[in-house]
Structure 1
Amino acid sequence: MTSSTLTTQALDGASIDGGLYGDITDFARHTHWLNGPVFAYTSYGVALFAVFMLVGWWYARRKDASVMAAALAAPFAVVLAYLVNDGIKSVFTEPRPCRALPHDFLIEKCPPMDDYAFPSNHTTVAAAAAVALFLVNRRLGAIASLAALLMAASRVYVGAHYPHDVLVAFVVGTVVALAVTWSARRFATPTVTRLRGGALKPLLT
């Protein structure tokens, strides 16, 4: 298949919500004081969700086996959500907005041609972690969800994604995390109970 055919079949993100994307990046153009903090968060904020999952595991040590099963499943949910999302990217091959709308304001450097926009990997990972943690502890899940929403907003603010990229990514992360974490609570709880009586007891209780 030629590159021209791929370009023809690719999702045209600019025609979906390119205007809204432009409004957001124009806002970024006029809020230079905010550019640095948002760029730092969008670049390194994913690490925060690893911290949230560690907190979830620590909390689950004092709870019943089903809660620990959910806490242990959270990283797997995140990895699977990322893989599913990356598969969707390869199907739709939506060019980044920095290529479709090159004159709009951009904070983050434009990625390579084969690094597609739809959906957002950063947002999927953040949403999956947040939703998985809701099944561990609602307060922790709420905090992580707020951080995930900020991650989604930051991806548009820096010019890396269209709004629909992060919206669909949130759905992907949510669906995968719910499926994985709920399944873990339902089917892996007996295994966690057995492991709590063995050599892994210090890690699980």
Structure 2
Amino acid sequence: MSGEVPEKARVRPRDEGELQEKTLASLAPYRDGDGRIFTIWSTLAHHEDALRRFLVFGNHVLGKNTLPLPSRELMILRIAARAQAAYEWDQHVRIARRAGLTDDIILAAAAGDRDGLDELDRVLLTATDSLLDRQSVDDELWGRMAALLSTEQIIDVLYTVGQYLTIATVINTLGVQVEGDLALPLPEPTDQKEEAA
């Protein structure tokens, strides 16, 4: 499933001065420490109406998700690593560290290694791989998910995988470039898929 990111952006980020006021208002929370709009969003601002709508859904997945924050981040990092989406990887390594995850756990989960993780995270990473590979889960995995998660949380699993696969696809296709140096090197893709947790 690993992607191929162009060495240069295929679509350059838009300058802030080109954006509508309502788009700027929607992007107010999506700025870096220097006040610049994150590159992913200034790139997607070429389609301002769609971006504003997408941000509403993205805000749910990133900010109002019912899954534990560290667990959600492990799922996103697994998606980014499998897709080789460096921009997504870099942003979420930083978020995962703030959520208390160590680099060893981040790298292990990204590689598909579930040793040392609790049962919930093992199940969530297995579900992430299954959803990426087959766009579904089998009955056995469904039972394990249902034993640990509410229906609302299971829906958030599906939304999280869908959202971040979409973002990885955007990054890889449009050539969204990392802002500076990677916080942690992006692991090489592995053939490891959907192992039993």
Q: Which has the larger radius of gyration?
A: 1
**TM-score between the two structures when normalised by the length of structure 1:** 0.28
More relative contact order, 1 or 2 (CA 8 Å, 6+ apart): 2
